[in-house]
């Protein structure tokens, strides 16, 4: 007599069902709808009738070739992200090397990590108000410090200078995220086998040699993850530029996300143009992600896979040739 067994697999599907439904309703449907309206003439509040354009790519052409503000917002987004990400990754790598160096044996690492991560826990609105107050004109802590040190006889309106405003926004982004990047890198370093460092130390490798020849190659995939997520987050940069200077001065901190928001929810409510801009950002993110994957790929592993594939082909060809000869 066969024993009846209970299959629990269907319960797993039932547990996944709420997530699948939420994903379909709140993620997949809005994405597909955004793609669709990018090819239409949808605009205005409570518009019920809209049509696919005779030239489906008209919205995209207008943005890329005729809209100076959109191109400027893309450039601002790229500049602010590059200015903040380079020191963010550099400082995070430096702190990672510092905290994971067993020779230093730093005490109170947990407290330092919490301190460095804490800016990421502060809301964007609070940080925007904080830095607006710091650089306030004519009376602000930075202006007071400048005059006290004799660097300036009169108050300086820092926020009227384009590059100063971009620098402040970039610094805010760096200050908020370098601790988060540091923790991810430390987690990646902790996954590297200690035997590699022990062998390198026996061979006489110093700390820098261990970091460049063991640590960096070992966390290549982690760095790739950080690059891609940071790049996507940079393309979505909205809260700090919007709350700090509302894109000013002279649209120097006006980002692509702010452009999309303004097109969709201000003025004529050009939902079609906002959707097209969102799709352009999506394509940019895909292209840059693919480029990063290619540049940071494991070349040694790829070479080994190609060699194994070549050997298998040769063996298959030889086997077929042997059968034919027989």
| Lowest pLDDT segment from 49-63, 204-218, 225-239 | 204-218
| Residue 66 region by backbone torsions, left for phi larger than 0, else alpha for psi between -120 and 50, else beta | alpha
**Pick from 228, 238, 224: nearest CA to 287:** 228
Contact 181, 226 (CB under 8 A): yes
The distance between the two most distant Cα atoms of the chain, rounded to a whole number of Å, is 98
Distance separating the N- and C-terminal Cα atoms of the chain: 52
> Considering the chain, what is the average pLDDT of its residues?
87
Span 114-138, pLDDT tens digits: 999 999 998 888 999 899 999 988 8
Span 172-198, pLDDT tens digits: 999 999 999 999 999 999 888 888 888
Give the per-residue pLDDT at 326. 40
Q: Is the dihedral of CA 156, 157, 162, 165 positive or negative?
A: positive
Candidates 3.30.1510.10, 1.10.3720.10, 3.60.20.10, 3.10.310.10; CATH matching 20-45+60-296: 1.10.3720.10
Span 56-97, pLDDT tens digits: 899 999 999 999 999 999 999 999 999 999 999 999 999 998
What are the domain boundaries of the chain? Answer: 20-45+60-296
- Radius of gyration of the chain measured on its C-alpha atoms: 27
Give strand pairing partners of 211: none
Mean pLDDT of 108-118: 88
Q: Phi then psi for 221, rounded to 5 degrees?
A: -65, -35
Give the per-residue pLDDT at 318. 78
Q: Is the dihedral of CA 144, 117, 90, 209 positive or negative?
A: positive
3-state SS assignment for residue 298:
coil
Whole-structure pTM value: 0.84
Span 255-284, pLDDT tens digits: 999 999 999 988 878 999 999 999 999 999
Mean pLDDT of 202-206: 86
């Amino acid at each position: 007599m066969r024993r009846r067994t209970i299959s629990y697999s269907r319960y797993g599907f039932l547990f996944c069902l709420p997530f699948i439904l939420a994903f379909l309703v709140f993620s997949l449907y809005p994405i597909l709808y955004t793609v669709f309206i990018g090819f239409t003439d949808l605009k205005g509040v409570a518009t019920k009738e809209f049509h696919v354009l005779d030239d489906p790519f008209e919205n995209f052409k207008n943005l890329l070739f005729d809209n100076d503000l959109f191109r400027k917002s893309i450039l601002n987004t790229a500049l602010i992200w590059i200015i903040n990400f380079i020191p963010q990754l550099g400082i995070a790598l430096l702190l990672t090397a510092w905290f994971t160096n067993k020779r230093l044996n730093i005490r109170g690492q947990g407290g330092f990590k919490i301190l460095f991560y804490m800016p990421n826990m502060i809301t964007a609105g609070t940080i925007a108000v904080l830095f607006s107050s710091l650089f306030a004109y004519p009376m602000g802590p930075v202006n007071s410090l400048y005059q006290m040190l004799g660097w300036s006889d009169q108050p300086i309106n820092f926020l009227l200078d384009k590059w100063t405003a971009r620098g402040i926004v970039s610094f805010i982004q760096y200050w908020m995220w370098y601790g988060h990047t540091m923790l991810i890198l430390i987690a990646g370093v902790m996954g590297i086998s200690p035997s590699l460092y022990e062998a390198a130390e026996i061979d006489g490798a110093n700390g820098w040699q261990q970091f460049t020849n063991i640590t960096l190659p070992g966390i290549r995939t982690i760095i790739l993850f950080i690059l891609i997520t940071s790049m996507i987050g940079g393309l979505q940069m909205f809260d700090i530029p919007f709350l700090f200077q509302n894109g000013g001065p002279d649209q120097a901190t006006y980002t692509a996300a702010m452009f999309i928001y303004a097109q969709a929810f201000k003025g004529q409510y050009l939902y079609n143009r906002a959707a097209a801009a969102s799709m352009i950002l999506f394509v940019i993110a895909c292209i840059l992600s693919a480029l990063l994957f290619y540049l940071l790929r494991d070349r040694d592993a790829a070479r080994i896979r190609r060699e194994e594939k070549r050997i298998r082909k040769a063996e298959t060809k030889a086997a077929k040739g042997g059968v034919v000869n027989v």
